[in-house]
Amino acid sequence: MARRAEAVVMHPAVGPRHRRYAIVTAVTVAVAVVAAIVGVTTGSFQASLGDVASALTGNADGRTSVVVMGLRVPRVVAALSIGAALGLAGAVFQTLARNPLASPDIVGFTAGSATGALVGLIVIAPAASPAAGAWIGGLLTVVVVMLVARSVGVSRERTILAGIALSTLLAAVNDYLLTRAPVEIARNADQWLHGSLAATSMDDVALLLGALGILSVVLALVHRDFRALELGDDTARSLGVRTGRVRLLLVVVAALLTGTATAVSGPIGFIALAAPQLARRTLGTSGIPLFGSALTGAVVLVIADVVAQRALAPLQIPVGLLTGVVGGAYLFWIVARTRR
């Protein structure tokens, strides 16, 4: 009887929370669909939904097929995938650090991925894909940040400060690499460093979807341990979680997500920083939701990319510049409302 009474008492609290989660998720998905349709159909070449359907089925004329399937669809899908990857990476970092500022772009992993990609493009193989270099650079940055933080006594604040310091150093390294590169390569790399989806191809989309799918499965497999870590290391250990191994695995997964996104688009700020917090506030969850963070990141980036393309048309703004401006305002807002 006591258990039944407890269930009756808790049911009213659970119901509204689930309804809010479902409603917000449905609205977010609808916004993503609308933004994707705008991104595919509008621009200097107007395409109707019928034209898009014909291009998707291979029945469109040559020009429509090239514009829709060769340019716009890969760009929209890449924006959704990169936003989801960065949202997931930010959710992992912020949960492990229990700090809303712990995101890949703040603690240096985005800069490390960019450095690895630039080394690959400029020094090793200019014609090769930057993906491998971005992954290696991101993982090496993880190792360096952890070693520096451990050497001065591990704490969340010191880990973040070590990442910020390393990010500043790597930004200088990136600038130096650009000065040593041939003019054409430097020009392309400089545009890439601003965060751009203009040159996205179907091969990039395949890389993004493959990496995002595999790494999402890994996160799903350790989801229970991930949630246990939110309660603290001592509580997680009492529940049988091997905290050291799980933390290392989660950091590696987040670094690979960041490296994959950076390899395709270059470093894009703000998404990994803000998406987890926006998802937590809109969905009303106690912790940072993984799926909600991925969905929010996807929506924010696809909207930002559409605005970057259309705001000053025919001139296109690199989406990384736009998200950087918004991210700076977001940081000011956090500082203004946080006393400590």
- What's the confidence (pLDDT) of residue 1? 41
- What are 268-291's pLDDT values in tens digits? 988 998 899 899 989 988 889 999
Architecture of domain 2-337: Orthogonal Bundle (1.10)
- Regarding pTM above 0.85, the answer is yes
Amino acid letter for position 156: R
- What's the confidence (pLDDT) of residue 108? 79
- What's the confidence (pLDDT) of residue 227? 86
**Where is 327: in which H helix or E strand?**
helix 319-337
CA distances from 210 to 139, 166, 260, 261, 289 (A): 19, 30, 10, 12, 22
Low pLDDT (below 70) residues in the chain: 1-14, 126-129, 149-158, 338-340
- What's the confidence (pLDDT) of residue 151? 59
Distance, CA of 179 to CA of 304 (rounded, Å)? 30
- What's the confidence (pLDDT) of residue 167? 84
Helix (H, G, I), strand (E, B) or coil at 216: helix
- What's the confidence (pLDDT) of residue 6? 41
